[in-house]
Amino acid sequence: MQDTYDAQAVEREAQEFWESRASFRVTEDTSRPKYYCLSMFPYPSGKLHMGHVRNYTIGDVLTRYYRMRGYNVLQPMGWDAFGLPAENAAMSNKVPPARWTYDNIAYMKKQLKSLGFALDWDRELATCRPEYYKWNQWLFTRLFRKGLAYKKTGVVNWDPVDQTVLANEQVIDGRGWRTGAVVEKREIPMYFLRITAYAEELLSALDELPGWPEQVKLMQKNWIGKSEGVRVGFPYELDGRKETLWVFTTRADTLMGATFCAVAAEHPIALHAARSNREVREFVEECKRGAVMEADLAQLEKKGLPTGIFATHPLTGEKIPVWVANYVLMGYGEGAVMAVPAHDERDFEFAEKYGLPIKPVIRHALGDTVPAPWKPEYAEHGVCINSGKYDGMDFGQAVDAIAADLAAKRLGEKQTQWRLRDWGISRQRYWGTPIPIIHCPACGDVPVPEKDLPVRLPEDLVPDGTGNPLARLPSFYETKCPQCGKDARRETDTMDTFVDSSWYFARYACPDADRMVDERARYWMPVDQYIGGIEHAILHLLYSRFFTRAMRDEGLLPGLAEPFTNLLTQGMVLAESYYTEADGRREWVNPADVIVEKDAKGKVLAARRKSDGAPVVYGGIGTMSKSKNNGVDPQALIDRYGADTARFYTMFASPPTNTLEWSDESVEGSFRFLRRVWAFALAQHKAHKTTDVQKDARHEIHATLRQANYDMQRHQFNTVASACMKILNVLEKLPSPGTATAVEGLSILVRLLAPITPHLAHHLWRECGFGEDMLHAAWPEPDPAALEQDEVELVVQVNGVKRGTVRVPREADRAALEPLVTSLDFV
């Protein structure tokens, strides 16, 4: 055994050992319980970032932990390889996205291997390969024939200078990121997946996911947004034609207080008014400017204009004005709302601003009137007033009565409304899965027949930022109709990359299958533990739940509804940022190049740049980003301290679900700990062995182990790491090496460390003679004799009234304790 801890040598040796034995290759084995541990696959952006290291270390700790407990564990890895950054890189480097992507994959794979993850690389997949995206296309054509995929118009961000569609990300403050031009909304035909067909099931099944964080389930529930209400019709006339303006409301009890209606700028009424009224036309134009991002729209000042059109109130017969308003969205519900200013905050503000009538129809906690300013009580349920025959009814009675009266007039009925909308998957971009549709002038939209799949994406194009190069490539889009054989045009839009990531977990079970998935998926699915960033709490996870059901209903995954049994959402990795300021311009300085000065108590006094000593300003803590130059390259960490230190640090520094704030100093502490472990093991290695048992130390080690076992179960890896440090502290204080307690303590410590620092554990396990391959060493199960509590709980009473409990060590001398609390009684 070497005198000093040489991480690089230890890690090389362990990795070669695992490689030579194919330690992590797994097959279906029905004799053992299976455990499918999956981390969200990376986008091949170039190199690993700290978020990857954290994510995959969590997965690897669980993988190795379950392996040591005898499970048949699958941990695969692949690449979410389609997407926008590859096109951007292509534009700046003049290299095809494919080339850039494959180069990145090769480099990042090398990095992942250097971290020693227990991955089955035989199952690697990349979504940009035809063998993979063929099945995106295949499933799409199946869903298309079923009507679960369909075409309609959707709204996109349009850059009028580059004549191209922009992603939300490419719109900055309402302008195109390359051109600076004000972005416009534009409606274009797109393909949608009918996720709303599964809305009810996606919602109700959340109750049967005990292994998911409540927070994520709640966010999904709110996202799906089931609401029970009434669809109400307001008749109106347009150029002599009788029409009905339909709105949806959850507050039909307030219908008698509706004093106007508001429609979206894209609504037919608004468009009609725009033709004859210049003001309305300008307002509609104004609403079209700007991006489609809903978070931005929500913060716009509420504005509107009367359309000059009046609708008839379905109950009173009164004429009420129809306004066009920027806060009404065409994509939600009917694109129109009825406004009840007295009992809705937004309508209240709007009515106040434009002098529209406010008619209270509900008795609320503060009375029968609704004086400004707005009070939340106005929106609460109450008894109807000023509502004619509905006076005195409560919410439920009024809704029932009004819905019945509307139904009698054929102007309404009860309806369930969902917030969830169908999923638009068309992207006017090159680097994605081609949508397998052929547009035939005679036959219409024809799905590509199975025998012609995949529709291959040419891999040698270089986009230039002015639209999809596929649309300029006749050899791609010129084709024949598969039905009639006449000239036809192939669809050039590609799929949203969320399609790729909505089923990859099932493909890992059978990466070489000649079908989308085969029977091996029945063995491995569902994923037992899924790990990934909290930022995917809604979209990716919801789409995956939808896809699993769609695949189930295609007969691909019989009986499977939920893809992920347990979900762990890791927190973001954050870092401090610093900048220098000159002429009002900020230059961001990487934290690695900053020296921080502290006072005698460790408080930060000042910071300066290493190179020239220039003072730098603290820019706060935040996610690692290029713009703030505060990224920490994990490769530097691995090169300097080794993979085990990187792994130990990321586990130890913070509980997995919290944000992790980067700290160079703590890395050093982790490395120092591993070196101490090495030194202790070396001393045992050299020592003369005795059978001496140090009772107190042994007791403390086992107590710490029990706590660590418990913490591992609840995924508190940071306290497991702390437990390792505590055990070493105990071991180092033993009077002499080589005792039975020292040897047993070391074997416990190494086994506890094995999931976190597998290379070091592997090496010490062999050197200290515990066995050849520690992957087969059982996780230390608590000693049943010691399982009895380490502490006993004493109930403290005063005059017979329970005043709490006191925990004392089991060995504590009760007689010695009693005098300290003479006024109390122990029970």
Q: Which stretch binds RNA (CB under 7 A): 26-34, 355-363, 532-540, 754-762?
A: 532-540
Q: Which residue in the set 41, 79, 248, 505 belongs to the binding site for RNA (CB under 7 A)?
A: 248
- Report strand pairing: 319-325 vs 241-249: unpaired
Question: Can residue 332 be called a binding residue for RNA (CB under 7 A)?
Answer: yes
Among 390, 505, 673, 678, binds RNA (CB under 7 A): 673
DSSP 690-742: -----HHHHHHHHHHHHHHHHHHHTT-HHHHHHHHHHHHHHHHTSSSTT-HHH
Question: From the CB of 667, what's the least distance to RNA, in Å?
Answer: 9
Interface residues for RNA in 345-364 (CB under 7 A)? 346
Contact 362, 384 (CB under 8 A): yes
Cα–Cα distance for residue pair 33/544, rounded to 1 Å? 24
d(CA 730, CA 417): 62
| Residue of 542, 682, 734, 794 interacting with RNA (CB under 7 A) | 542
Residue with Cβ nearer RNA (29 or 214): 214
Among 336, 358, 361, 624, which residue sits at the site for RNA (rule: CB under 7 A)? 336
- Span 367-426, contacts to RNA by CB under 7 A: 417, 419-421, 423
- Which amino acid is residue 817, in one-letter code? L
Shortest Cβ 648–RNA spacing (Å): 10
Cβ closest to RNA, residue 402 vs residue 537 = 537
| Span near RNA by CB under 7 A; candidates 34-42, 447-455, 652-660, 746-754 | 652-660
Part in contact with RNA (CB under 7 A); list of ranges 16-24, 322-330, 353-361, 515-523: 322-330
Closer to RNA by CB, 515 or 598: give it.
Answer: 598
Quick one: which of 8, 45, 168, 565 contacts RNA (CB under 7 A)? Answer: 168
Write down the least CB distance from residue 513 to RNA, Å.
29
Look up residue 410 and give its two tokens: 């054929």
Residue with tokens 């279906």: 28
Which has the closest alpha carbon to 519: 509, 534, 508? 509
Q: Give min distance, CB of 366 to RNA, in A.
A: 16
Give the span between the Cα atoms of 171 and 174, in whole angstroms. Answer: 6
673 is written with which tokens? 């700990």
C-alpha 6/C-alpha 643 separation (Å) is 12
Q: How far is the CB of 164 from RNA (least distance, A)?
A: 18
List the x/- string, 299-318, binding to RNA by CB under 7 A.
Answer: x-------------------
Nearer to RNA, 14 or 646 (CB): 646
Distances 133 to 292, 430, 497 between C-alpha atoms, Å: 29, 14, 10
Kindly give the pairing relationship between strand 72-74 and strand 34-39.
Answer: parallel
- Distance of alpha carbon 159 from alpha carbon 177, whole angstroms: 9
Q: How far is residue 351 from each of residues 14, 244, 302, 363, 364, measured CA to CA in Å? A: 72, 23, 11, 20, 20
Rg (CA), the chain: 33
Least separation in angstroms between residue 359's CB and RNA is 16
Q: Is 119 or 336 the residue whose CB approaches RNA more closely?
A: 336
Choose between 151 and 421: whose C-beta lies nearer to RNA: 421
Binders of RNA in range 569-608 (CB under 7 A): 572, 598, 600-604
Binding part of the chain for RNA, among 119-127, 295-303, 377-385, 749-757 by CB under 7 A, reads: 295-303
Q: Which CB atom, from 468 or from 719, has the smaller least distance to RNA?
A: 719
Smallest gap from residue 453 Cβ to RNA (A): 27
Pairing of strands 426-427, 494-495: antiparallel
Structure-token pair, residue 572: 């973001």
Give every CB contact of residue 368 below 8 A, 6+ residues apart in sequence.
Answer: 360, 385
Amino acid at 428: Q
Instruction: Report in angstroms how near the CB of residue 695 gets to RNA at its nearest.
Output: 20
Task: Report the nearest approach of RNA to the CB of residue 251 (Å).
Answer: 7
The C-alpha atoms of residue 591 and residue 216 are separated, in whole angstroms, by 33
Stretch near RNA under the rule CB under 7 A, chosen from 44-52, 179-187, 287-295, 353-361: 287-295
Question: Please, where are the H alpha helices in 253-368?
Answer: 268-276, 278-288, 294-297, 345-354
The interface with RNA within residues 439-498 (CB under 7 A) comprises none
Q: Which of residues 227-246 bind RNA (CB under 7 A)?
A: 227, 229
In this chain, which of 654, 684, 747, 757 binds RNA, going by CB under 7 A? 654
Using the rule CB under 7 A, is 659 a contact of RNA?
A: yes
C-beta of 317: minimal distance to RNA in Å?
21
Q: In the complex with RNA, which residue's Cβ is closer, 356 or 438?
A: 356
Closest by alpha carbon to 45, among 4, 6, 80, 1?
A: 80
Place of tokens 């007969």: 555
Interface with RNA includes 539 (CB under 7 A)? yes
Short-list 161, 226, 115, CA closest to 651: 115
Per-residue contact flags (x/-) with RNA for residues 707 to 746, judged by CB under 7 A: x--------x-xx--x--xx--x--xx-------------
How near is the Cβ of 109 to RNA at its closest, in Å? 26
Considering only residues 249 through 278, tell me which ones interact with RNA, judged by CB under 7 A. 249-251, 264
Q: Does 294 bind RNA (CB under 7 A)?
A: yes
Residues 679-708 that bind RNA (CB under 7 A): 707
The mark string for 199-228 relative to RNA (x by CB under 7 A, - otherwise) is ---------------xx--xx--xx-x-x-
Stretch of 59-67, 292-300, 508-516, 748-756 lying at the interface with RNA (CB under 7 A): 292-300
Instruction: Report how far residue 51's alpha carbon sits from residue 569's, in angstroms, rounded to the nearest whole number.
Output: 12
Q: How far apart are CA 375 and CA 377, in angstroms?
A: 5
- Smaller CB separation from RNA, 23 or 707: 707
Cα(89)–Cα(68) distance, integer angstroms: 43
Q: Residue 344 or 528: which CB sits closer to RNA?
A: 344
Cβ-based nearer residue to RNA, 358 or 509 = 358
Number of residues that bind RNA (CB under 7 A): 91
Q: Is 752 left (phi over 0), alpha (psi -120 to 50) or beta?
A: alpha
Sign, Cα dihedral of 180, 185, 191, 194: positive
Which residue of 206, 453, 537, 720 would you call a contact of RNA, by CB under 7 A? Answer: 537
What is the full DSSP assignment across 22-41?
Answer: TTT-----TTS-EEEEEEPP
Strand partners of residue 155: 187
Q: Which of 352, 668, 744, 825 binds RNA (CB under 7 A)?
A: 668
Min separation Cβ 208 and RNA, Å: 19
Stretch that binds RNA, among 30-38, 334-342, 352-360, 451-459 (CB under 7 A): 334-342
Q: Which two tokens stand for residue 631?
A: 């990224």
Residue 417 vs 741, nearer CB to RNA: 417
792-811 residues in contact with RNA (CB under 7 A) are 793, 802-807
**Is residue 439 a contact partner of residue 492, using CB atoms and an 8 Å limit?**
no
The rounded distance, in Å, linking the Cα atoms of 256 and 239 is 28
Cα 727 from Cα 470, distance rounded (Å): 62
Element (H, E) at 152: strand 149-159
Q: Residue 324: phi, psi to the nearest 5? A: -105, 135
329 binds RNA (CB under 7 A): yes
